[in-house]
Structure 1
Amino acid sequence: MSNISFSFAPDFCFSKLFSTLILSLTASVSLVACGGAETKGANSDEVIVLRMSHFLPAPAAMNTDALEPWAKKIEEESKGRLKIVNFPGSTLSKADETYDAAVNGKVDIGMQLQGYSSGRFPLSQIAELPGMSNSAAQMSCIMQTLYDNGTISSEYEDSHVLALYGNGPGVLHSNKPIAKPEDMKGLRIRRPSAVAGDILESMGAAPVGIPANDIYTSLQRGVVDGLSLQWDAVPVFRVDELVKNHTNIPFYSSGFVLNMNKAKYDSLPDDLKKVLDDNSGMVFSKMVGEVISAMDVEALQAARDTGSNIIDIPDPLNNPAWSGPLKQGTQKYLDSISQTGVDADAIYKKVQEVSASCKV
């Protein structure tokens, strides 16, 4: 048998293998140090779940025709990496605490009326005053524009605002017909915000603060004699089952904010932030405004078709019977803001200018 030695070959192979491993490890470390985190953010298959909370019932058209399609669109555009889980009906946060729930991280995204947090968004609520808006599309444009141009943005610095939008005009629904302000004297009327409350009080009513989810039982038990509410919400909260008198008078409009926890938004990779950004702001506001405007028309027509008693007062600010109380309520609200040192009249004029530019 030959005495050929193989001692050289294993030593050579081991040396070559060791050198290859060192080079590979060095390359890997270099990749991480030179942008590995960014690469991971852009290419990660991890699914990021965002919990969205709001007070609307699950069957509400705003939920089924706006919020859910919006969440689905974001999931599709993120290729499944961003998933918004919808929690309607105040299941994660109370109706008047949802904005703060998003600020504090209890939820990731929240949707709330500014009017539910009394005194928290005084400048934003100037847009709710009589004569500012005649449709959800117009109110949504007004709210988002006021945020974008900086008029009201200071009120939301503790949160990442996805969008602001608004409802159609709030009108009156009552157990007895209301054709003039005197007909409201002594009536307990549910109000959604301080702005609407001031105006109702100026018309002789006794405003009562009740969450939207308690409207039906409050009417049923006689806690209130009527309420102020936009048309699209009438079937949502089953008001049409209990009330057959409707005064179709646009005397205020409600604003909404869709906000997100700041830290959660900041933690997202840039490409996922872009997906959210592309579907937020005026894009979201316009979409929602169109959905709600269509629902308002449908709900009003349904009330007419079922024979409800509808009293139309289309232009109350120029109606001799109604203009006085409405202007009185408006001035009362503006005076309350002026007392804090803010030039409420100047902001009121800005809102009027934006209202004119958003008219549809």
Structure 2
Amino acid sequence: MRQRHSRSVSTPLALAAALLFAGAVSAQDKPVEMKFAHWLPPTHSLSKTGFEPWAKSVEAASKGSIKVALYPAQQLGKAADHYDMARDGIADMTWVNPGYQAGRFPLIAAGELPFLVGKPGTGSAAIDAWYRKYAAQEMKDVKFCFAHLHVGTMHSKKPITEPSQLKGMKIRSSNGTNAAFMTLLGATNVQVSAPEARDALDKGVADAIAFPWDSIVSFGIDKAVKYHTDMRLYASDFVWVMNKGWYDKLAAGQKKVIDDHCNNDWAGKVGAAWGDFEDGGQAKLEKSAGHTIVKLTPQQLDQWKKAAEPLYGQWVQAADKAGFKGQEALGELRKEIEARKAN
């Protein structure tokens, strides 16, 4: 009896000791560094409203066992290469504009369709929630974190009010879908990344640019264009993706921290913070000497929307060709956008 009693006492004690030991090990996860690469200037609004707050939150939640080292301004590679940089382990996390490689990621390009999304915060939450079930198939080389977007317009060297004015112009487009729209309207596309855009405009390689409002200022493009059309012309999708090998080597607790920072809440949070800041750039430009906000009549806006309609059919065809059910997927995205009042 005494021996059985001894066992009954020692077993809970042993279990408690084991749990304490496991907790100590968990609390002392091997420190790791995340190399997070992006191509924006370190002073850019997304750096301050997205990358830096996210990095600090990860470090705090991991009790310092995950250190996030930010590599801005194309330090580790060109803007268009950031998806492959995560895939190949050049960086552990990257910020990617899928539209910089037109046709490679046809499904997420739905978020780029003109006039589909009007609000960047709820729009980001919508595109992220919708894309999560497709990401593992379309971006199978990496671990998907979350998606978000911004909304922008046309900035030019002369006033633009109607789509017919773009015929013969040279436009720096924002992504593959926007480039297809420019082609549809008879413009010539100038394919350069955001950091290279001002140079293209300064040298006359481009006459106008599709860009969000505040980035016109932060990239110094306000020195090259003076007219800004007041409409929600386009959206650009962005994804945060990780190197699979880096993630797989994390301790269980560290993986949970990353998972908790790669969710729909963060997609909406980053999209809203950045989107609100970008939209605030319109007021800055309106107050800047020499800049003109070009207003549209309802009839002119309808012309733009009608001109964009063929792009929806083109997207469905591209999605079908890639093995997705295009019309069904577009319907799902529309429902998600409408449910979140993002349009």
TM-score between the two structures when normalised by the length of structure 2: 0.88
Alignment partner of 1:182 is 2:164: yes
Residue 336 to residue 282, structure 1, CA distance change in 2 (3 Å): closer
Local SS of the residue matching 1:232? helix
In the alignment, residue 208 of structure 2 is paired with which amino acid? Answer: G
1:266-305 superposed matches below 5 A: 266-305=248-287
Instruction: Flag the 1:287–1:323 CA change in 2: closer, same or farther, 3 A.
Output: closer
Q: Is the counterpart of residue 248 in structure 1 residue 230 in structure 2?
A: yes
| Corresponding residue for residue 146 of structure 1 | 130
Q: Which residue number in structure 2 is paired with residue 238 of structure 1?
A: 220
- 1:176–1:195 distance in 2 versus 1, CA, 3 Å: same
2:292 alignment partner in structure 1: 309
Match of 1:325 among 307, 314, 336: 307
Structure-2 change in CA distance of 1:184 and 1:90 (3 Å) = same
Amino acid at match of 1:285: A
Per-residue deviation at 1:35? 10
1:126-205 equivalences in 2 (<5 Å) = 126-148=110-132, 150-167=133-150, 169-205=151-187
**Alignment CA distance shift 1:346-1:160 (3 Å):** same
Mind listing any 5+ residue stretches in structure 2 that lack a counterpart? 1-17
Q: Are residues 1:84 and 2:34 paired?
A: no
Contact 2:170/2:187 (<8 A) preserved = yes
Q: Deviations over 1:216-257 (max 9, x none)?
A: 111111110011111132112111122111112222201111
Distance 1:196 1:284, change over 3 A: same
**Partner of residue 325 from structure 2, selected from 329, 339, 343:** 343
- Map Cα deviations across residues 169-191 of structure 1 (whole Å, 9 max, x no partner): 22101111111112111100001
CA distance in 2, matches of 1:153, 1:142: 17
1:77 CA displacement: 1.8
Residue in 2 that maps onto 1:117? 101
With over 3 angstroms needed to count, the CA separation of the structure-2 counterparts of 1:65 and 1:80, relative to structure 1, is same
Bigger CA drift: 306-315 or 58-67?
Answer: 306-315
Give runs of aligned pairs for residues 20-59 of structure 1, distance below 5 A: 42-44=26-28, 46-59=30-43
**In structure 2, which of residues 181, 201, 208 is the aligned counterpart of residue 219 of structure 1?**
201
CA-based RMSD: 2.5
Over 3 Å counting, the alpha-carbon distance change for 1:152 and 1:271 in structure 2 is: closer
Deviation of 1:41 (Å): 5.1
Give deviations 1:253-274, integer Å, cap 9, x for gaps. 0111101111211111111111
- State the distance in 2 between where 1:275 and 1:314 align: 49
CA gap of 1:326–1:73, structure 2 versus 1, over 3 A, is same
Report the CA distance between 1:336 and its aligned residue: 3.5
Which of the residues 94, 100, 106 maps onto 2:78?
94
**TM-score, length-scaled by structure 1:** 0.84
Post-superposition shift, 1:65? 2.5
Distance 1:239 1:314 in 2: 26
Shift of 1:110: 0.5
1:71 pairs with 2:51: no
Which 4+ runs in 1 deviate beyond 6 A?
Answer: 34-40
* 1:271–1:134 Cα change, 3 Å: same
Count, aligned residues: 326
1:127 and 1:142 in contact (8 A); partners too? no
Query: Which one has a bigger Cα radius of gyration?
Result: 1
